[in-house]
Amino acid sequence: MPNDTAPPAPVLDPGAAAVPQAPTREPFRGLIWLVSAAFFMQALDSTIVNTAVPAMAQALAVTPLGMRSALTSYVLTLAILIPASPWLCDRFGTRRVFGAAIAVFALGSLFCGIAQTLPQLVAARVMQGVGGAALMPVGRYVLVRSIARHEFVRVMSTVATFGLLGSVLGPLLGGALVEFTSWRLIFLINVPVGIAGLWMNKRDMPDYRLHHANRFDLFGFLLFGAASALLLTASELVGDQHVAWGRVGECVALALLLGVTYLWHSRRTAFPVADLALLKVRSVWVALAGNLFTRLGISGMFLLLVLFLQVGCGWSPLMAGLMMVPQALGSISAKWLVNRALARLGYRRLLLGNTLLVALLLASFALFGRTTPAWLIASMVFLYGSFAGMQYTVMNTLIYHDLDIRHASMASSMASTAQYLSMSFGIALATLLMESLLQGHAHSDYVAAFRWTVLLLALVTASASRVFGRLRPDRPGPTKGT
């Protein structure tokens, strides 16, 4: 990931205190296992839920597409609360914050498993999001602080691979549990994983903190959270035929006003919740914007595929879950090639080409129908997962490429916020497109709506290539052997 020569750093805050340095010993096996366990728990939860959406919708007496609030509420909560993670780490230490996050996430999973109505499930998913908001950014931050820069891409690929194992087990467990037991168990299995994570956190998590933490930007945090929530609320209202478009416009206008207010506020506070000064670094704003457009197009893909297979084609939950496994296997296989691909192509050429390939593969799903052989679907899903997995890893490491280590915490927070915010809107966009294209509830309608939806989402994904094209043509990748 890094160059042989140190890249220019962004403008530094002269008042920032230094974070204690971690020992330079290698490997940090216990820490890597701990962060991997957190990623595994989140990946398992998200992939299991996608597979079980039709069964959950039937049990809660709603339509499958009406379940999007249970999915987007969790992801939006992550996006809103993630910016608070740097201050929480500086104030209370990474060990306490990470441990509390695991405990709250596991408790939220328990409440999801016993929910009786959709509002109860949404509330429990919000609680899961409160806990999960710190898992990924704190995990990434601790790895950045603990692992040597020339090893960072390799370690992130390893951690992401364990997270992808959750993606492999998720569809299988989700399909099997829904078909043979109950969808409630898909949440309850997070409880023992959380207990193991608490034990590992006490043993292996380093305790990074500042002796005098900066003042938390509560006003900026509220502005950002309210703007994000209003935008997602507007997307939910679009799908409600009984709501006037005037209310949608009011939500969007107020969200934009709050967003502009935050831009004004962030320039006048010493320690903003999101430091927009980092956007002066080209690789940072390209990584954030490219991440946004890419995930806006592909985040809802596998929810749509599950609905297509189960509702449109009449597949069983287990068979639909099996079709999700090749995606995770493809992502795992591709991640081991990231270093080599970056060394040969660099960030700009790799992201330009790979983004267009992901969009092309996404569009190819429009060829699926009720008679498409399972082996062909599995093959296409594997290829798509391979290129999408490479896209995620490269985008997630690009933001750190030109940053001084003192900005690692803020960059991690901003990267995770952009990721989950785009995921929440991506899920909303995908379900809204499919819902608007449905002319009824017949199985054939789901097939036709799926085809047109993936074509439109492919165009959104392809637009991200224009963002990555703003990287400098001579952008070098990591040297061989890193």
User: CA 131, CA 32: separation in Å to the nearest integer?
Assistant: 20
Could you count the other beta carbons within 10 Å of the beta carbon of residue 324?
A: 26
User: Measured at the alpha carbon of residue 74, what is the angle toward residues 73 and 76, in degrees to the nearest 5?
Assistant: 65
The pTM is what? 0.74
Classify residue 211: in a domain, yes or no. yes
Give residue 475's pLDDT: 44
Residue after which a domain boundary falls, among 272, 292, 309? 272
Residue 316's CATH number: 1.20.1250.20
Last residue of one domain, picked from the residues 255, 272, 289? 272
Q: How many Å from the N-terminal Cα to the C-terminal Cα in the chain? A: 8
For the chain, the domain total comes to 2
In whole angstroms, give the CA distance from residue 356 to residue 388: 11
258 and 236 in one domain?
yes
Residue that is last in its domain, among 272, 301, 318: 272
pLDDT computed for residue 1 by the predictor: 35
**Within a domain: residue 43?**
yes
pLDDT at 459: 92
Looking at the structure, tell me whether residues 90 and 182 fall in a common domain.
yes
CA–CA distance, 190 with 184 (Å, rounded to integer) = 11
Position 430 in a domain? yes
Contact (CB, 8 A) for 347 and 442? no
> By residue range, what is the domain housing residue 396?
29-216+273-468
Six-digit token string for 245: 């478009």
Residue 14 lies in a domain: no
In a domain, 366, yes or no: yes
Ranges of the chain whose pLDDT falls below 70: 1-29, 148-150, 152, 164, 210-214, 236-245, 404-406, 409, 439-444, 474-482
What's the CA gap between 344 and 61, in Å, rounded? 53
Whether residue 368 lies inside any domain: the answer is: yes
* Per-residue model confidence as pLDDT tens digits over 386-441: 898 888 888 877 887 777 666 776 777 777 777 778 888 888 888 888 888 876 55
In this structure, what are the phi and psi dihedrals at residue 294, rounded to the nearest 5 degrees?
-65, -50
Q: How many CB atoms within 10 Å of residue 224?
A: 24
Q: Which residue has the tokens 């490219």?
A: 290
pLDDT at 211: 61
Nearest to 28 by CA among 119, 156, 125: 156
Whether 186 and 243 map to the same domain: the answer is no
